[in-house]
């Protein structure tokens, strides 16, 4: 089990900085979506807007990964 976490940590450290930022932003938006949908959190942003932001972040992340792989 420890070896798997070591590999994950090494792979994450090798990721470009923009990917780390996108991971974080996507996680934050996903948590907000869960809080709005499941917990009924009153948020000034519509759930449709949160969903759109989530998918835009995913699309940007995929584009960054493609560019990063092509550069390598």
The span from the CA of 4 to the CA of 2, in Å, is 5
Give per-residue pLDDT as tens, 11-40.
777 777 777 888 888 888 888 888 888 888
Residue 1 pLDDT: 58
- Cβ atoms within 10 Å, residue 54: 17
Whether the pLDDT of residue 2 is over 80: the answer is no
Mean predicted confidence (pLDDT) in 44-69: 86
Total domain count, the chain: 1
Q: Scanning the structure block, which residue is given the tokens 């090494």?
A: 10
* Contact call for residues 54 and 30 (beta carbons, < 8 A): yes
Range of the domain at 8: 2-71
């Amino acid at each position: 089990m420890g070896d798997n976490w070591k590999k994950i940590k090494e792979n994450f450290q090798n990721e470009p900085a923009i990917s780390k930022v996108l991971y974080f932003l996507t996680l934050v938006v996903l948590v907000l979506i869960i809080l709005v949908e499941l917990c009924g959190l009153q948020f000034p942003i519509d759930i449709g807007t949160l969903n759109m932001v989530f998918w835009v972040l995913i699309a940007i992340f995929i584009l960054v990964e493609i560019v990063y792989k092509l550069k390598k």
